[in-house]
Amino acid sequence: MPAPPPSLPLPLEVLNTVFGYQSFHPLQGKVIEHVLAGRDALVLMPTGGGKSLCFQVPALCREGLTLVISPLVALMKDQVEALKANGVAAAFLNSTQTAAEAESVNAEIAAGTLKLLYVSPERLFSGSAVRLQDWKVSLVAVDEAHCISFWGHDFRPEYTKLGQLRALLPGVPLIALTATADPAIRRDILAQLTIDEEAVFQESFDRPNLHLAVLPGQKRLERIADFLAKRPGQAGIVYCLSRAGTEDLAASLSKKGHKARAYHAGMNTQDRSAVQEAFLKDDIDIVCATVAFGMGIDKSNVRWVIHYNLPKNLEGFYQEIGRAGRDGLPSDTLLFYSYADVANQLKFLEEANADRRELLAAKLERMKQYAEAQICRRRILLSYFGETPEADCGHCDVCENPPETFDGTVTAQKLLSAVYRTGGRATLRQCALILRGSHALEVTEPGWHDLKTFGAGKELRFEEWMEYGSQVVNAGYLSVAYDKGMSLQLTSLAGPVLKGEKTVALTKFRSFEEKKAATAVKAKTAATSDGDPDLFEVLKVVRKKLADEHEVPAYVIFSDKTLKDMAAKLPRTPAEFRQVHGVGEAKLEHYGSIFLKAIGEWEAGRA
């Protein structure tokens, strides 16, 4: 077989010499082969699945320029930085640049020295299309391709122009990539970008390293404090619904001694990028953010993600929790759930476009099902993405502590009669207080202490009534009138229960402490050894120093996984260093001696 020309390396060589990895993930290999054969592809992989290499490797195996369309202006700089650290000629064009910076990128394009160009769709279509044809484009990659679809949670109208690229660049293969695989969105991407159904490469969306858990929304702050106490110094994100929420939480956590900052779209660009940089550089551990945060965050060592409020759909939720554990190491996710959050989301729905409202309501319903699940939560997530796992995951709170049911007919009857006697004017909280026989103002003022059901449920604690009350609502015997101060209403199913014609199964209440014990991370250990944790800390300091010097995020230097592999392999020579996961030739050359020295000193210190 004739050897390929030296300027065009083979994919595996690129993977090894440039990126420092030993082998492709199974689907990556297939996609790359397919794209290098000059064909289009749609790649559906979960966050952290390794989508970038699917176009970055082909870009380096071909002549000409690979155009990467991305909506994430904030991410471009870091992606380009990461490529440059590996010795790849990459650049970006977007609205954040000065005219001079853009000019110098244009000069590189004209000179034909660039291999990868990241560009926002606005920028792409603002220049003259003629220019695009002069760019010697050999591959187009459309990242975050779900933005093209009206059915997606992140629809961007300017993305719908990307179909024009097919006519502007005839014969140039196009690869679209996304971490959202809702069937309607997938069809939409294929249609708009004219990609064949046979060109779809889909990987399981399962992220087994993510632990899934949900807790009721009471005493959130205390629960977060407990959670953090067990995870000192770990990087994490708390997603909140409102801007004020992010600021309050960041302030509370800071007061407790955590390195936390708020991030939301109401802050100015400068403050926002300062928070983002600080997080990327490990200067702060926690970001309390609205969903505005994270699209641009390509940080591999985020160890946990908490949702302080219920998100509006599973796509967004999955993408947000997917920001944890991109390095494949065990990571935690925690969602707080309350009716107040549902009410808030419903309020947003009312403000939505009439033609989208039904769709959004259906999506919110799926989100609620996840939060209220009595079966393996991963099943619910994966089924949303069209997958049917064979077995329960064993790595979510429901699997770890399967619910026990009992005949709760009497309990349900008591609650239903309290609702009946208050004439549908009481909230769940008020009903619980009535049943407990409380003389709180919110009970006595409406005169409910005179009701027959007053004090009829003293055998259960207040929190037990709250929990069973939600279950009775979820089972459909009661509805919550979101438009009437969240008061409870009997449904048509309630009658037979009150008359004793129907029994109600409830799930045994578990206190927060019991749930917490069950949720305690049973870390699924990674297959590889992590090496000495002290050395890992030493190497992190070295990395931090280099990152500050080069003004790049820490992960651009090396991922946590690389540092752990280094601590495990204890390389002594450049050749050994090159064997470490994630060390390619450029990184060996730039950082090899510095890390080898640190490892040598650490070993000497122990001898």
Binding residues (CB under 6 A) for ligand ADP: these are 21, 24-25, 28, 45, 47-53, 300, 326, 559
Give yes or no for a contact between 128 and 52, defined as CB atoms under 8 angstroms apart. Answer: no
| Residue number with CB closer to Zn ion (167 or 391) | 391
| Residue number with CB closer to ligand ADP (25 or 540) | 25
User: CB 326 → ligand ADP: shortest distance, Å?
Assistant: 5
Looking at 237, 396, 443, 472, which residue binds Zn ion (CB under 5 A)?
396
Which of Zn ion, ligand ADP, none lies near 314, with the C-beta cut-off 5 to 8 A by kind? none
What amino acid occupies position 295?
A: M
* Contacts for 100 with CB less than 8 Å, ≥ 6 apart: none
Query: CA-CA distance, 213 to 194, in Å (whole number)?
Result: 40
CA distances to 18, 302, 559, 592 from 582, rounded to whole Å, are: 9, 18, 8, 12
> How many degrees, rounded to 5, is the angle at CA 391 between CA 390 and CA 395?
135
Length of the chain: 607
Three-state SS across 193-219? CCCCHHHEEECCCCCCCEEEEEEECCC
Answer yes or no whether residue 376 interacts with Zn ion by CB under 5 A.
Answer: yes
User: CB 476 → Zn ion: shortest distance, Å?
Assistant: 24
| Residue number with CB closer to ligand ADP (48 or 553) | 48
Which of ligand ADP, Zn ion, none lies near 488, with the C-beta cut-off 5 to 8 A by kind? none
Answer yes or no whether residue 211 interacts with Zn ion by CB under 5 A.
Answer: no
Residue 311's Cβ-count burial label (10 Å; 0-12, 13-18, 19+) is: buried
Number of other residues whose CB lies within 10 A of the CB of residue 167: 9
For residue 274, give the H/E element and its range: helix 269-280
User: CB 211 → ligand ADP: shortest distance, Å?
Assistant: 19
Looking at 32, 399, 412, 583, which residue binds Zn ion (CB under 5 A)?
399
Helices (H), 169-268: 183-192, 220-229, 243-255
| Residue number with CB closer to ligand ADP (210 or 504) | 210
Stretch of 195-203, 373-381, 434-442, 562-570 contacting Zn ion, by CB under 5 A: 373-381
Stretch of 104-112, 174-182, 378-386, 513-521 contacting Zn ion, by CB under 5 A: 378-386
396 secondary structure, DSSP code? B
Number of other residues whose CB lies within 10 A of the CB of residue 510: 15
Strands (E), 94-193: 116-119, 137-142, 174-178
Answer yes or no whether residue 381 interacts with Zn ion by CB under 5 A.
Answer: no
User: CB 582 → ligand ADP: shortest distance, Å?
Assistant: 7
| Residue number with CB closer to Zn ion (260 or 396) | 396
| Residue number with CB closer to Zn ion (290 or 519) | 519
| Residue number with CB closer to ligand ADP (146 or 429) | 146
**Which residue, 444, 445, 447, 443, is CA-closest to 431?**
443
Query: Phi/psi of residue 429, each to 5°?
Result: -60, -45
**Which residue, 499, 406, 391, 487, is CA-closest to 448?**
487
Collapsed DSSP state (helix, strand, coil) of residue 505: strand
Which of Zn ion, ligand ADP, none lies near 51, with the C-beta cut-off 5 to 8 A by kind? ligand ADP
Which of Zn ion, ligand ADP, none lies near 487, with the C-beta cut-off 5 to 8 A by kind? none
Looking at 378, 436, 561, 564, which residue binds Zn ion (CB under 5 A)?
378
| Residue number with CB closer to Zn ion (172 or 215) | 215
Looking at 61, 132, 189, 393, which residue binds Zn ion (CB under 5 A)?
393
Interaxial angle between packed helices 314-321 and 354-371, expressed in degrees from 0 to 180 and rounded to the nearest 10: 50
Query: CA-CA distance, 364 to 344, in Å (whole number)?
Result: 11
| Residue number with CB closer to Zn ion (382 or 393) | 393
The pattern of x and - marking residues 510 through 549 that bind Zn ion according to CB under 5 A reads ----------------------------------------
Which of Zn ion, ligand ADP, none lies near 393, with the C-beta cut-off 5 to 8 A by kind? Zn ion
Answer yes or no whether residue 237 interacts with Zn ion by CB under 5 A.
Answer: no
Output the six-digit token pair for 373.
Answer: 């699940």
User: CB 300 → ligand ADP: shortest distance, Å?
Assistant: 5
Which of ligand ADP, Zn ion, none lies near 378, with the C-beta cut-off 5 to 8 A by kind? Zn ion
Strands (E), 338-382: none
Which of Zn ion, ligand ADP, none lies near 299, with the C-beta cut-off 5 to 8 A by kind? none
Number of other residues whose CB lies within 10 A of the CB of residue 500: 10
| Residue number with CB closer to ligand ADP (288 or 329) | 329
The pattern of x and - marking residues 486 through 515 that bind Zn ion according to CB under 5 A reads ------------------------------
**Which residue, 336, 363, 387, is CA-closest to 153?**
363
Q: Which residues bind Zn ion (CB under 5 A)?
A: 376, 378, 392-393, 396, 399
